[in-house]
Amino acid sequence: MDEEWRQAIPLLVNLKVWENPDHEPVGISGVPEGLRCIGVGTDAAVFQAEVAPKYAFKLYAKEKSEKLNVEESIYAKLRGSRFFPVCFGSGGTFLVISYEEGPTLLECLLQGIPIPDQAVQDVEAARDYVRRKGLNPRDIHLKNVLLQDGRAKILDVSEYIKNGDDRRWEYLRRAYDDYYPLIKGKKVPLWLAEAVRTWYHQAGVDFSYEPFMKKIMRFTNFHK
């Protein structure tokens, strides 16, 4: 194990991460001084330690702990690609990956940071790479794609062994082509982003792109 990231292990001992219902982000407690949470998802939370700032420590909710070894094995297959972080190993309760700078695509929308077409093309190229490795590029959405100097870096590969196409990226790519020019460089309100997330999960298998986008547009001042 790398000596530098080992220094952060004592900070992780008392951390607790648990799953919440209805696709809500995980809960966390026991975060000590010197450790900060840099990301929260529905399965895990990610932390950065002052003593090892080049690394990110991903702790799964105890109900999702089986995903840790799965994700580590997926990173091993993707090693060498510029589109994904580097995985350095695991510590039993956590995964150690490279800390990656940059806003997520969701943060870009909230802050009015333009999302270039190159970043979108990078995600398409990354998905092709994943398929060539015998994996399935699922669960790619606004919170797990970073913008780095105009290029994309994709986080959270844990679902790449699952079957089926969840179509999350396909819907986002279509919305980018159809509607993003109307809001490029403008700040999307947080309440609207949260509402869109809620509506999407509520739709479930009944999701339909066109009615969904028309519903969103009714709540904005932007028109095609």
Question: What was the pLDDT predicted at 1?
Answer: 47
Give the position of tokens 């519903």. 215
Print burial letters for 182-194: b (CB count within 10 Å at least 16), e (below 16). eeeeeebeeeeee
8 Å CB contact between 87 and 75: yes
Residue 92: closest CA among 34, 33, 27, 13: 13
**125 and 153 Cβ atoms separated by less than 8 Å:** no
Residue 36, token pair as written in the block: 């900060």
Res 24: pLDDT: 87
Out of 43, 122, 139, 156, the active site residue is 139
Which CATH number is correct for 105-218, 3.30.310, 1.10.510, 3.40.50, 1.20.1260? 1.10.510
User: Strand, coil or helix: what is 19?
Assistant: coil
Check residue 165 and give its pLDDT. Answer: 87
Structure confidence at residue 163 (pLDDT): 92
Calpha distance 163→154 (Å, rounded): 19
pLDDT of residue 203: 84
Q: Would you say the CATH fold of 105-218 matches that of 3-98?
A: no
**Where in the chain does DSSP place strands (E)?**
16-18, 27-29, 35-40, 44-49, 52-60, 87-90, 94-98, 145-148, 151-154
Cα–Cα–Cα angle for 62, 28, 156, rounded to 5 degrees: 65
- If we measure between CA atoms, which residue out of 45, 50, 17 comes closest to residue 33? 50
Give pLDDT, residue 222. Answer: 60
| Residue spans per domain, the chain | 3-98, 105-218
The one-letter amino acid at 72: E
Please report the pLDDT score of residue 22 as a whole number: 83
Q: What is the torsional sign of CA 158, 137, 26, 108?
A: positive
Task: For the chain, 224 residues long, give each residue's pLDDT as a single digit of tens.
Answer: 457 899 999 999 989 999 999 878 999 999 999 999 999 988 999 999 999 999 999 999 988 888 899 999 999 999 999 999 999 999 888 999 999 999 999 999 999 999 999 999 999 999 999 999 999 999 999 999 999 999 999 999 999 999 998 899 999 999 999 999 999 999 999 999 988 888 888 888 888 998 889 888 887 766 55
In the residue annotation, 165 being an active-site residue is answered as no
pTM, rounded to two decimals: 0.88
Q: In one letter, which amino acid is 77?
A: K
Q: What is the pLDDT of residue 6?
A: 92
Q: Measured between alpha carbons, how far is 96 from 86 in angstroms, rounded to an integer?
A: 9
CA 185 to chain centre: 22
* CATH architecture classification, 3-98: 2-Layer Sandwich (3.30)
